[in-house]
Amino acid sequence: MSATQIKLILIGIYASIGLLFAVYQHFWGYYNDKSFAYNLGQGIVWPAVMFPVVGQVIGGVIMIAVIGYIVMKSK
C-alpha cells in the first residue's frame, strides 16, 4: 500500500465517522432540534465535539498562531 492509498483510506474513515456522528446527533443527540446542516458541521469536527479537551487544544493552537502572526507582522 502506498502512502496515498493509506491517506485516502484514513480520510474516508474520518468522513464516515463524521457522517455517522451527524446522523446520530440529528436524530438522537443533544442538538436534535437543530438542522441537519448544523449537525453536519459538528460532524466535520467530531473529535472536538466528542472530546472537549481536543477542542480546547485546537483553540489554544489557533490562539498561539494568531498571536505569533501579529508579533511577526509588527517586526
The Cα 26–Cα 9 span in angstroms is: 26
56 and 29 belong to one structural domain: no
54 and 28 belong to one structural domain: no
Sole residue written with cell 456522528: 21
Per-residue pLDDT at 75 exceeds 80: no
63 and 75 belong to one structural domain: yes
Is residue 49 within 8 A of residue 55, CB to CB? The reply is yes
Give alpha helix (H) positions in the chain: 3-28, 36-44, 46-50, 52-74
11 and 28 belong to one structural domain: yes
- pLDDT at position 50 is 87
Is residue 21 within 8 A of residue 38, CB to CB? The reply is no
40 and 72 belong to one structural domain: no
2 and 33 belong to one structural domain: yes
- State pLDDT tens for residues 60-70: 999 999 999 99
Q: What is the pTM (predicted TM-score) of this model? A: 0.73
- pLDDT at position 49 is 87
Residue 8 lies in domain: 1-44
- pLDDT at position 29 is 87
Sole residue written with cell 509588527: 74
The domain tally of the chain equals: 2
- pLDDT at position 17 is 95
61 and 74 belong to one structural domain: yes
- State pLDDT tens for residues 3-54: 899 999 999 999 999 999 999 999 998 888 999 999 999 999 888 888 889 8
